[in-house]
Structure formats: C-alpha cells, structure tokens
Structure 1
Amino acid sequence: MAHCFNPDCAKPENSDRHQFCQHCGQGLHLKERYSALQPLGQGGFGRTFLGVDHHLPQQPRCVIKQLFFPTQNPAMRDKAIALFQQEAQQLSTLGNHPQIPTLAAYFEQQGQLYLVQEWIDGQSLNASVWSQHPHLELMIWQLLRDILPVLHFIHEQKVIHRDIKPDNIMQRRSTGQFILIDFGIARMLTDTAMMGGATVIGTPGFMAPEQLRGRVLPASDLYSLGTTCLNLITGVNPEELFDIVNDRWQWRDRIPSHQHLSLDLIRIINQLINPSLRERPQSATAVLREIGADIANAPAIQNPTPNPAPLISDMPTVAMSPSQPAPTTLDPDLLALKQKLETPVEPVRIDYTNLQTALKRKQWEAADDETWAILCRLTRKRVGSYLFLSEIDDLPCADLRAIDFLWAKYSEKRFGFKVQILMFKAAQDDYPEFCHQVDWPAHDVSRHNYLKYHPRAPVGHLPSRRWIGGGKWWKHLAMIAQRFEQCGLL
C-alpha cells in the first residue's frame, strides 16, 4: 500500500505498484526514494507517515513528517523554508545521540516541507499501563537514568525540548531503552522564529510555570520530566494533581493503593516539580548526581558537533546597530533620539497565571479584565488604556495564540478570539449580524452593561470588546481576523 502525500487528495490509498496517485495524479515517491505506507498522525502543523526508504538495502522503515505553513505570503514562506533548513540542521546534530531519532533527510517538494527520521520500533509510554506495573518504582528510576543524560546532551547543544511528556518518550522494543522524540520543529518555526517570540510552547499540565510566562530554561525540561513521572505513577493528568487554591501539589494520595514508592523517589520527584525555579534543580547533571548516577556512564555520542549554533528560537531579538559610527557633529538632541531608537527593545514577557486561574475557576469577568490588561502590556500601554486598530497589527502572534488557547480550553471552545472570527466570517463579515449572534449591541456603548459573565452566555460572547478605542472601533474584529491569518492561527 502507498499513501498519497497530497493533503487535498480524497482517496490517498494506492497499490504499492503505482508510481502516481490513481485519484489525484501526484507522485507517490519523495525524491524518487521515500514513500508512505500509512498515516501515523496529524496535527495543526503537519502530518506524520510510516514510510520506507527504497534506496537502502532491505528497504528499512522510516518516519516521514510533512510540515504545513498556512500562509500565502511569499516572503513569509521563503523565511519559513530558510528557518526550516537551519532548524533541521540543528536536529541533525541532535540525531547523533543514540536516544534521539536520527534525521535522514530534510527537503522541500511540491510546495511542502519534509523531514525523514529514523523509525523507532517501540511504543510511547502509556500512563494507564505504567501506573499498574508491578515494578513501577524500578521503571521510574530507569526512566530517570535513561532520559536525564539525553537532556544533559541537548542542553549542552543549547536546545530545550519544551514538550516532554509520555507521548514524546518511546521505549525501544529490542533493548527497552527510552528514546526522546518530537523536538517540535513545526512548533519552533511557527510559534517562535516565524511569529516573533517564544511565549507558550508545550502541553498544559506538563509545562513549567515559567513556560506559561514566556520563558524556557533547562530547568523547564526537568519540571516536565517530573510531571511525566507523576502522570506515569498516578495515571492522572498532572493538571488535576495541583491544588491552585493552596498553590501546592497533592499527588501522593493519588498513587494507586497497591503501589508503594520509596521516600528517595518521592523526594527526587518533588524537587523536579517544584514550581519555584530558584528551588528546582538547574541541570540534568545535578539530578544525576542526586540519584547516584554519572553522566560519564551515558551512551557514547557519535560525531558530536563542536560549538553548535543556538536555535533561532533561543536567540534574543536585538536591533541591529549601524555599520558606521554616528557623526560627532550630530545635534545632541538628535543623537540622543538616535541612540534611543537603536537601543535593543526587550520583548514583553507575559505572565498568564492570573488569566489561567480566572478561567479555570470560571471567573469570566476577572478573565476578561485580565485579557484587557495583557493586551495593554503587549502594546506597552498603561493597564486600562484603549487599543486602536493600528495597534492590533503589533500584537505578537504567540501571545494571541496563548490567550485564545486558554479561553477556548476552559470554556470548552465556547469563547475566544478564534470562535468570534469564525462566526464573523460565517456572517460574511457583517458586523451587525455577528453582534446579533453573540448578543452584543451593534452600536457603540460606553458602559458595556450588556455583557454576561457566565457560561450560559451565547457562544462567542467573550472576551469582550471593551478594550477597543478609536472612531472606527467596529472594524476591530476584521483587524483581529487579519492578524490571526497573518500568524497562521486560523
């Protein structure tokens, strides 16, 4: 069986004797070498296939990742391809580690970007199976001893995984060794370097608190490894194990009754999941020393690359300095202004804890207030200020995605910017008709006393438009829709 790579093909299954899809006519081989046997999964930024390499003896299996970049902008697409090549080179370096899948090839073909990686004959970790394992503690210790050296390696390469969870750890069938997969090249490109700032990349429940605030460090991966252990031990999503009212973990009472963990293991896990970055271990090496393991005993790395370049997503945004020094005869006031304009501007880092807490507690008015405050901070305005239409274009894509993600998650997809945009488009950009559907008055009002802060409010009713200013305030939704499209969020 050969599977067509065309995302729009209605009948992608073909006999393996065909060179071209019998439905759409597209070639079934990439670079006249790789073909897909069956799809393995699909996400917002691409698809994954189980494939075969026809150029190697015995035609070994491989994993083919097809990446999507939802943009019609040629300049942005060219940038995506350039970034893809640079990130893939970094991933190629990581593949020198025996516990990271080897990158076999990366290329563009027929307008799509592809990665070909080693296929791991094994399975991802399953929390429901692990929590019932008769030797659970021994398995957790082995997981820590296997994965910590991998984290030490990638952190030495200036890479932070950002999404460690059971789904991204596989156990090789032949050796039982744990393999770290999915370094999220699509997320790196789409959410960071392309979109202008690394804010929220990861999986809720497994992310460190600082990730939700837009900052990632090696200790962030250690936190995610700790929450992965919690999930495997209890079979419960870590998000359900944290008491947000008392700001503390409550996971020990969720350990299955037939399981017994040593105080040493409990102590190590509590160190890893400490919400305080200051009190959490700062390196994988420190944790290995704590558990009595030695990084020197880790598997040897093949052909390591000296002094690897940092990921684009890890590099700070810095304004370029002029190539020539300023003339000494420049007017002092103009010189001061010039220096101010050339001073690098620190990106705004947003703490999403208050928004997440309000939404999780169904405190809709508090969440709406916090959303307004976040939009003000993103535009460097005093909290409570109005934003004008021109300022919507300056809102960072990653932050818009984070705000919308939290609203959608905790409202069960009833509220959020994306919901409003889709309703507006369904109304054929008719703003009065949209207002009728979400129960907003079509005319401008000053008090917004029509707002309903409860879950029975109409779909799309929140977040509100209270933060919009200017004489053409009613155009705000079209501008937000345009910004979401620029960001590839639709």
Structure 2
Amino acid sequence: MNTGMLQAIAGEFTTYQLIKSLGQGAFGRTYLAEDENGHEYAVKKLTFSSNSQSYAKAKELFEREVESLQKLNGYPHIPNFVEYIEENQQFYLVQQYINGKTLTKELESRGKFTIEDAIKILQCLLKVLIDIHENNIIHRDIKPDNIMIDHENNLFLIDFGAVKEIIPNQTKLQTPGTRIFTPGYAPLEQQYGYAEKNSDIYALGIIIIQLITGLEPENQNFDDWQNQIIISNDLKYILSILSKMIHKEHKYRYQSAQEIIDDLPTPSLQKNQPIIANNHVNLSQESGMDIIFFAMLLIMISIVIFNAAFLPGIKKKENQKHQSFLMHKVYL
C-alpha cells in the first residue's frame, strides 16, 4: 500500500498511527499501528461497500468479532483484545501485535516439519480449540495463514472475523449460516453452512498433514498423504488420529479437542515452552546418556585392544629383566 493511501486512512483514525499494512483478510485489512507512547498494536479496519445493507452487515460482523474476542481475552495463544473503535462510519479493532511470521511462511522456509514438531503444534492448537469451543465459538477459518509464530517460537491463532457463536439448544432445522470457509480446510458440513465444533478439528487435521508431508490440502487423498510419511513404530499412532480428525462425516470425526488430547500418549507441553524446535541441535537427556554409554564402551574396547596387543610384550620384557637380574645376582 502506498504512503498516500496509508496517510488518508490514518487521517480518519486519530487514536493510533498506522505504520504499514500487515495483510488483507475476508472482511478487512490489518495494519501495524503505534499509540502515542510508541507501543505497537495490530489494528483491523473492516471494509465494506457504501450501501446501507453492506454497512449493517459489516457492523454485525464487527460486533460479533468484538464479542468473541472479549470472551477469549487473556487466553494463551490468542492475541489480547485491546479495544474497538467506531469512527466516521469506519470500524477498527485493536489487538496485541504478534511480531513474527505465519505458519505458511514457516512451512515455505522448512519444506516439511518433523513428526515431533508437528505433534507439538497439534497439542498447542488443540488447547486453543478447547478454549474457544468451551465459549461456544467456532473459528471457521483455521489455516496456516491464521496461525502466527512469534520470535520465541510460540503459536497464536488469529483472525476471528469468521467466528460463529453457537446458540445453546439450537435445532438442525435452522437456516444455514453464512458460508465462510477457505477451500481445502473446510469439511462438507461447513461448506453447506452448518459448521460444527469439529469442523475446526477437521481444518487442524488438514494443517498437520500439510506440515508433515508438504502436500497442499487438495492433494491430500488418503493414499497420497499416508504414503508420504516415513514414521517410526512408536509414532504411528498419529496416523490413526489424523485420519479420524479429517473424516468426511462429522459424526465419525472426533467430537472434541479433548478426545484427541486423550488419545495422544506424548506429554502435554509445559507453559511457555517453545512450540517449534530451533534449528540448532538440542540434545535430550536420553541422547546425552547414549553418548556417555558409547564413550564408556569405546574406552573399554580400547583397554581390551591395548591389553591384547601390548600387554604380552610388556610382560615378556619384564620377565627378561627379572631373569637377567637373577643371573647377575647368582654370578655375584
């Protein structure tokens, strides 16, 4: 976005200074902004056409997103809500700025993720799903572009502009909701307008398969993605978990994120533990013990070789010296 356009928008928005555009979403553009103290924020400006019907719809979406973020404020791995502003018939949503990159960019730079790193990401995002689903919220647009990684390798789920709030005891006879989804990451029921909580689980399963295999969602038929994964026996459980997460029929899919966590035998992540491993070698306690064991084994083998090769000669020389000493003593 050019400087003139940014200045024009900033002129409409007096509370924060807009620094640069961070990206365009389905319902608005997000900017990096600063307040008068130099603190950085992410500011989302809703975009819509000028007719009254579009304005009313934009205001409804804005208020829905604000309400959801207020419910989720303070939860880990979700950007903190700061405030919302309606100014000159424009809507602005101010949130914590996550300084980092999207999971899409991380995948592009890596090519593929290790199974271990992918499982860590799965564990983290399952906990996020538990939080949002317990608040009767369906995200409806979980994809790599909406997952941020900060400079400490922590994950954040962003862009709640497509959220749908579940009304308790609602019936299946309701009119389908707004069809909001990203092709490839949305199951059939969501595409038809009937998003379920486990529609988010489907999207997360597709993402984890994408991280492990490098395959785009449209290329993830069962034979392809299963055959792309070379995996040790102790990690093969993840294949059945992922298969159930992305089942086409939502009634046969996992019904909650907690069910998946219960099926994961690996320990849960500790608070503030980095989600994605750094590129440098990180020795675990087990691998360190292995190194010590092999070093001791090598020393023992060296001692055996030394004894076999040199000890007989040394003993022979000592015997010869001893015999010479005895003969010398006899002559004396």
Among 159, 163, 177, which residue is 1:182 paired with? 159
2:29–2:45 contact (8 Å) kept in structure 1: yes
CA distance in 2, matches of 1:69, 1:47: 11
Residues 49-448 of structure 1 mapped to structure 2, 5 A cutoff: 49-54=31-36, 56=37, 59-73=38-52, 77-78=55-56, 80-81=58-59, 84-126=62-104, 127-133=107-113, 136-174=114-152, 176-185=153-162, 197-242=176-221, 248=222, 250-255=224-229, 260=231, 262-292=235-265
Query: 1:45 Cα deviation (Å)?
Result: 2.7
Among 5, 12, 25, which residue is 1:12 paired with? 5
Query: 1:12 Cα deviation (Å)?
Result: 2.6
Query: 1:204 Cα deviation (Å)?
Result: 0.8
2:12–2:87 contact (8 Å) kept in structure 1: no
CA distance in 1, matches of 2:269, 2:22: 36
CA distance in 1, matches of 2:161, 2:56: 20
Query: 1:179 Cα deviation (Å)?
Result: 1.1
Amino acid at match of 1:198: G
1:41 lines up with 2:41 in the alignment: no
Amino acid at match of 2:192: R
Query: 1:137 Cα deviation (Å)?
Result: 0.9
Change (3 A) 1:236 1:40: same
TM-score using structure 1 length: 0.48
Considering fraction of residues, name the structure with more helix. Answer: 2
Q: Deviations over 1:128-158 (max 9, x none)?
A: 334434xx11111100111111100100000
Q: Deviations over 1:243-294 (max 9, x none)?
A: xxxxx55312334xxx536311212211211112222110011101110368
Query: 1:81 Cα deviation (Å)?
Result: 2.7
Query: 1:87 Cα deviation (Å)?
Result: 3.4
Which protein has the larger Cα radius of gyration, Structure 1 or Structure 2?
2
Amino acid at match of 1:264: Y
Query: 1:100 Cα deviation (Å)?
Result: 0.3
**Which residue in the other structure is 1:328 paired with?**
none
Q: Return 5+ residue gaps in structure 1 as ranges.
A: 5-10, 14-20, 190-195, 243-247, 300-490
CA distance in 2, matches of 1:39, 1:83: 21
With 150-159 and 232-241 compared, the bigger mean Cα shift is at 232-241
Query: 1:80 Cα deviation (Å)?
Result: 4.1
**Which residue in the other structure is 2:11 paired with?**
28
Aligned to 2:185, the other structure's residue is in SS state coil
CA distance in 1, matches of 2:223, 2:91: 42
May I ask how many residue pairs the two structures share in their alignment? 259
* Structure number with higher relative contact order (C-alpha < 8 Å, ≥ 6 residues apart): 2
Change (3 A) 1:168 1:264: same
Query: 1:70 Cα deviation (Å)?
Result: 2.0
Amino acid at match of 2:11: L
CA distance in 1, matches of 2:238, 2:10: 53
Amino acid at match of 1:149: K
1:128–1:232 contact (8 Å) kept in structure 2: no
CA distance in 2, matches of 1:129, 1:27: 34
CA distance in 1, matches of 2:157, 2:218: 22
CA distance in 1, matches of 2:190, 2:61: 23
2:44–2:92 contact (8 Å) kept in structure 1: yes
**Which residue in the other structure is 1:302 paired with?**
none
**Which residue in the other structure is 2:169 paired with?**
none
Cα RMSD over matched residues?
A: 2.9
Query: 1:89 Cα deviation (Å)?
Result: 2.3
CA distance in 2, matches of 1:82, 1:182: 16
CA distance in 2, matches of 1:203, 1:165: 8
CA distance in 2, matches of 1:84, 1:184: 7
Q: Deviations over 1:392-413 (max 9, x none)?
A: xxxxxxxxxxxxxxxxxxxxxx
Aligned to 2:249, the other structure's residue is in SS state coil
Structure 1 segments of 4+ aligned residues over 6 angstroms from their partners: 293-299
CA distance in 1, matches of 2:176, 2:240: 35
Q: Deviations over 1:95-142 (max 9, x none)?
A: 321210011111111221111111112211133334434xx1111110
Aligned to 1:250, the other structure's residue is in SS state helix
Query: 1:161 Cα deviation (Å)?
Result: 0.8
CA distance in 2, matches of 1:86, 1:211: 19
1:206–1:239 contact (8 Å) kept in structure 2: no
